[in-house]
Structures are given as structure tokens and as C-alpha cells.
Chains A and B, each alone.
Chain A
């Protein structure tokens, strides 16, 4: 016997709306079991996970800091995934964006003024975009698998960052530690409301990007083109759409947004380039994109939820003393139920026994 997922001919609008709540309900139950097994009070564990991080202003700020790069990258990835281009290399595009954007404050620290920051953001986008066009080019020209090429370019970017921070861009006053100079004040992305916390303008950029991409996808011809070619390349060709051009377009947008996330993170949250600037935002954003059902507005919500689960995991570690691994397992449980519920809207499960298989063949 085996299990198959069979596409439903029609999907229920009711369950599409209900699915997040069903997932939440199942998560709460599974979480309660998990925490009881760990010998912790499940109610207080769930409280620390989902509520405590929202009870203080500073952790709202932290929520936005954590969500900003996830949303920016995931919005870009949604364009890729909708058009059937599998960009797995956003982490590398983030790094290249961060490096390109850092050219001004690191190499020309005396170049200061209000115009520095916008130039840095543009350079960051250009860096990420340029890096993303490599797998796009390889796919269009040589028909390579973009999943592999974009993923492998992540490691290239990480090693390039490592080299540049350790070598040419190392802070001469930094005791030879692998860090660049601290950015000067005109190269720092300002905080939104600095009296109460450190959330920076990266989050605003993420919201603007989500709105723009949402508008493009739902209201313009390019958006239509993306969806048609994504669902059926053949149908798209009949309509006169070019799959190759679209591949470049999708990779360019997602690369630019990942690059913007990179420079915003470095200039807003870290303040200098160092060997590690991202705890894997480019990969986590893939989850965020699907959690948001590849809809830019859904992605904003999904990014905030995932950020909350990180903060909640830490709060639970500090307040209840559960281990980081248990916190991560719980995060996994959330994602599992949400994605499973969403999948079951579009697919149903069919148990295929040998008997029914044979019957199907006979027919």
C-alpha cells in the first residue's frame, strides 16, 4: 500500500480561510503534549511562546528587526516561485547585496551626506540582482538546474564575504579580527522610533516592497505573465510570453530584494560587515514565502509569525529553561501543521492498495 496526494478538482474557499486556524489549533495541542512531556506547564510555555514577546514595546521592535529581512526576501522569492523558477540562493544574493552596499562606508568612509544611504541601498539591490542573474543566465542559456546553481552560489558568496572581511576590508584598528570598520553615521539605516527600541527602516522597506509586488502580481500584465508561465509554460508560449525573459525578470527581482535585505540588515542592525551577517535568512525566507501562500500580503503576516516563533523560543528558554533544541522542534511543529493544512486544501490523500492499483490498470 502506498499513499498518494491527489489534486482536488476544486478547493474549498471556506477551508482556505479556516486552514490557518485549524493549524493553530493543532499546533497548540501538539505543543501542549510536547511541553508536558518535557515536564513544563504547557499553558505557561505557550504563553511565553506567543504572548510574552508581545507584552513589551522593545520586543515588538525586535520582532520587526527579525521579520524585515524575512519579508523582503520572501516577497522576491514569491515572484520566482510563482513563475516556476526555483531560486534557493537568496542567502548568497543577500550577502552580495550587503557587500556591494558596504563599498561606500568601508572603502570611502569620508564620503558622507544624506545621499550616501540611498546610494548604498541601490548598490545593495544591484549587487543582489547581478548575483541572481548568474543562475538565471545558466538556466536560460544552458538549461542548467537553477536549484543547484543558485544554491551552490551561496557558498561562493559566503566564502567571498569571509575573504573580503578577513583581507582587503579588514579594520586596521581591529586587532586583526575579521571585521570591517564601523559604518559612519550617514551610512546607518535610521531607527524608526529610537526612544523605545532598535527597529529600523528595513521593515518599512519590506512593507513597501510587499505592496509593490502585490500590485504587480495582481494588477498588471507582468503579474499575469508570471502566473501563466508558472502554471503552464506551453500555454504561456501560445500567448506570446517569453519564458527566458521571465526567468531573468524573476531572478532579478528576487535578487534585488534579497540584496536590499542584506544591506538593510548590515546598515540597520549590525553596523559593519563581518564574517557572519545572516543566520540563514535566505533559507528561512523560503519557508516564509510558502507560509504566506506566495502572496506578498500573506508573506508580511507569515514573516511576523515566524519572527515571533524565534522570539518566543528565546523567551521560553529564559523563562522556563527549555533547551534551544526543544524550542526549535516546536517551531518545526508550527510550520508542519500550517503547511500540511494548506496542502490538504489543494490535495486529498488517497491510499493506494495493490488491489485498487491493479483495478486502475485493468480499466
Chain B
């Protein structure tokens, strides 16, 4: 009898210890729109996840689901992560917004973080990045480097996030060369190396000598390298794919944010919010300035420093819309609401915005 009691109490203590141990580890889930091997958008989120694992060690355990289509599948994938015991879930594409909100209603004890959307809830935070700040610097460089005065821009989908980038690039370029033009081709995909490469080739054939992209693969960079023109990397540092081609790249530095939010859940201080971070918060980082003369590099660095300090805001008047009407008066800056809903081009963009 005594032995049995002992065995029971031991079993009980093990069970408790097991539970306590399980509680220590925060399970964090990620939903990716593409494969982590895209070397672009999803790759950078996955780097952020790894940084979090490194920084928080055995306090966290991470899982991810890759290439999850936006639509009915997203809801199931998010719910699966919630049911697998993840207490913090990052959904890293705009199209997961409504699915995230729906699953969040079912799991009030799980914290959700949705990238680049606009719907929040008590347990759903939104985080967004001012990628357009990096685009402005790219525009400045493009205007300095281009001989023909025309850059090619490969867009994914004409949503505000992408339109912001095109306009900011345009304004940065016009600050150097008021007659600069941008040609746009829409790939209608986030990750489709074939289509992205075709778009890049078409742009080169139309005579542009600099390419920038808002899609996730390295294909445009590789086309630019073949055709011996210059290009900008997107989402991650793509220098390996164009050692003599890449001028710089916008690097999405998600790691610090992911670490901060996981810590907040562990400490019990997590609160919902809707943040829109940029260079100032070190979320938008520029890859090293390469393949350009020193004076261009200096100008780029100065521009970056001004944006980081807040001295320069890319969307500052006077700015005209594409149709010639006035958007911003001299000295006026655009508010975040307008930026987040941007659905028009500024003057100088050689494309009709699909809508």
C-alpha cells in the first residue's frame, strides 16, 4: 500500500513537473504565403523566426506552415496552429486578415499578429512596415545612376502597400531628376519566378536600365544581371544573385519585432496595437550600397539618415497626382490614413493604375 502511494505521488509530481515545463515554453506559430526558400518576403520572415529562437532560446518553440493559399485554406491552417498549442501566431500576408480575425474569435487566449492589414481585435495586433521609406532612397539612387532616365518597376498586386512604394520611388527620383519616369508591369503574383523574370525582360526590352521589384523572388535580379543593368533587391539582401548588379536592397528586419512580441506574451504584457514602423524603428534596413560611385553612395546615405531622423518624409508636398491635380501643397505631408489607402499614382509614373 505504501509503495502504491509512493508510486502515485511520484507519478503525480512528474505530471506536475511536466505541466510546469510545458508552460515555460511559449509556442509560436507562423503562417507563410510562400516557401522560406524564396529569398525574399517569406525568407525574411523566417529569418525573423530564427532570430527569435536564437534570442529566446528554450523559452520558445516555433512552428510554421509554408505556402498557405489565401482563401478558405488560410482559416484552417491558422486554426491548426492554434489547436497545436501555439499561444502567439504570426500571419504574414495581407490576405490572411479575415481568416485571422475569425480564428481569433474562437481562441480568445491565443494572441495573433497580422502583417500589413488593418483589422485589429483584443487578441489581434497588426504590424506594418514603411517599406516606402526605402523606396525613396532607391529612387534617389536610380535617378543618379540611370542613363536613360527611366526605371522599370515590377509590381505584385496594385494594393496600397505596393502603390506607396511606386510613388515614393518616383518622388525620390524626381528630387534628383524632375523628368524621371517609371514604367510598371504587374506580375499579379507575390511569388512566381517565371512571371517575374518575363516582366523584367519586357521592361529591359522597353529600354529601362534600372529595375526594382515588389515581388518576392530573385528572378528579376538575375535577369538584370544577365542583361548587364542595375537592380534593387527586395525584402532581403539579394547581393548573392547579382554581385555586380544590386545597388542596394530593402531588407525587412522582422526579428527584433518578433522577439519583442514573444517576450511580451511571456511576461504577460502583450497588448493589441496597430503599428506602422519604418527606418526609425530599424524595421526597414538598407543593404550595403554597392556598384555605385562614391558621390551617389554619399547622397543615398544622407537621404537614409534624414528619413531615419524624421527630417525627411517621402510624401511631402508639393506633389501632383498623375492626372495633374494637386495632392499635397508645398510643405504638407500625407497622413498615415491616406498612405495606408493609397490608390493613385503621382505625376511621372508611366502606367495606368489598374482599378
Given A177-B94, A274-B71, A277-B71, A321 and B83 touching (CB < 8 A)? no
The minimal Cβ–Cβ distance linking B87 to chain A, given in whole angstroms, is 15
Which one of B65, B98, B354, B355 contacts A272 once the chains associate, using CB atoms below 8 Å?
Answer: B98
State whether B341 touches A176 (Cβ < 8 A).
yes
State whether B160 touches A175 (Cβ < 8 A).
yes
Given A163-B354, A274-B95, A275-B157, A65 and B72 touching (CB < 8 A)? yes
Q: How far is the CA of A25 from the CA of B314 in the complex (A)?
A: 62
Binds B, one of A80-88, A312-320, A336-344: A312-320
- Give the contacts of A237-281 with B (CB-CB under 8 A): 265, 269-272, 274-279
**Nearest B residue to A53 by beta-carbon distance?**
B80
Q: How far is the CA of A198 from the CA of B118 in the complex (A)?
A: 25
Residues in A with CB closer than 8 Å to B160 are: 175-177
State whether B72 touches A319 (Cβ < 8 A).
no
State whether B63 touches A321 (Cβ < 8 A).
yes
- Give the contacts of A166-214 with B (CB-CB under 8 A): 166-167, 170, 175-178, 182, 198
Residues in B with CB closer than 8 Å to A325 are: 35
State whether A176 touches B63 (Cβ < 8 A).
no
The minimal Cβ–Cβ distance linking A291 to chain B, given in whole angstroms, is 20
Residues in B with CB closer than 8 Å to A177 are: 94, 159-160
Interface size band for A: 35 or more
Q: How far is the CA of A87 from the CA of B72 in the complex (A)?
A: 25
- Give the contacts of B299-355 with A (CB-CB under 8 A): 340-343, 354-355
State whether A176 touches B342 (Cβ < 8 A).
yes
The minimal Cβ–Cβ distance linking A283 to chain B, given in whole angstroms, is 13
Residues in B with CB closer than 8 Å to A275 are: 157
Which one of A167, A176, A278, A314 contacts B77 once the chains associate, using CB atoms below 8 Å?
Answer: A314
The minimal Cβ–Cβ distance linking B217 to chain A, given in whole angstroms, is 16
**Nearest B residue to A63 by beta-carbon distance?**
B76
Given A166-B158, A274-B70, A276-B70, A58 and B354 touching (CB < 8 A)? no
**Nearest A residue to B77 by beta-carbon distance?**
A314
Interface membership of B291, Cβ < 8 A: no
**Nearest B residue to A323 by beta-carbon distance?**
B66
Interface membership of B193, Cβ < 8 A: no
Contact pattern, B 167-195, Cβ under 8 Å of A = 1, otherwise 0: 00000000000000000000010000000
Q: How far is the CA of A276 from the CA of B157 in the complex (A)?
A: 12
> B69, B73, B83, B84 — which one has the most chain A CB atoms within 10 A of its CB?
B73
Q: How far is the CA of A182 from the CA of B99 in the complex (A)?
A: 13
Residues in A with CB closer than 8 Å to B9 are: none
The minimal Cβ–Cβ distance linking B132 to chain A, given in whole angstroms, is 15
**Nearest B residue to A182 by beta-carbon distance?**
B98
The minimal Cβ–Cβ distance linking A58 to chain B, given in whole angstroms, is 7
State whether B71 touches A278 (Cβ < 8 A).
yes
Given A65-B72, A170-B355, A324-B67, A175 and B80 touching (CB < 8 A)? no
Residues in A with CB closer than 8 Å to B76 are: 62, 65-66, 311, 314
State whether A318 touches B65 (Cβ < 8 A).
yes
Residues in B with CB closer than 8 Å to A265 are: 72
Contact pattern, B 71-106, Cβ under 8 Å of A = 1, otherwise 0: 111011101110110000000001100100000000
State whether B84 touches A319 (Cβ < 8 A).
yes
State whether B80 touches A176 (Cβ < 8 A).
no
Residues in A with CB closer than 8 Å to B70 are: 274, 276
**Nearest A residue to B343 by beta-carbon distance?**
A176
Residues in A with CB closer than 8 Å to B77 are: 314
Given A177-B159, A277-B71, A166 and B354 touching (CB < 8 A)? yes
**Nearest A residue to B344 by beta-carbon distance?**
A176
Q: How far is the CA of A348 from the CA of B274 in the complex (A)?
A: 64
Interface residues of B (CB under 8 A from A): 35, 63, 65-67, 69-73, 75-77, 79-81, 83-84, 94-95, 98, 118, 157-160, 188, 340-343, 354-355
What would 22 A/B residue contacts be, using CB atoms closer than 8 Å?
A59-B80, A62-B79, A66-B72, A66-B73, A163-B354, A167-B354, A175-B341, A176-B343, A177-B159, A178-B158, A198-B75, A265-B72, A269-B71, A275-B157, A276-B69, A276-B71, A276-B95, A279-B71, A311-B76, A314-B80, A317-B65, A318-B81
The 10 A-B residue pairs with the shortest CB-CB distance, nearest first, are A269-B72, A279-B69, A176-B343, A175-B341, A324-B66, A62-B76, A324-B67, A176-B341, A318-B84, A167-B355
Given contacts A274-B95, A323-B35, 10 further A-B contacts (CB under 8 A): A56-B83, A58-B79, A59-B80, A66-B73, A170-B355, A178-B158, A269-B71, A314-B76, A315-B80, A321-B63
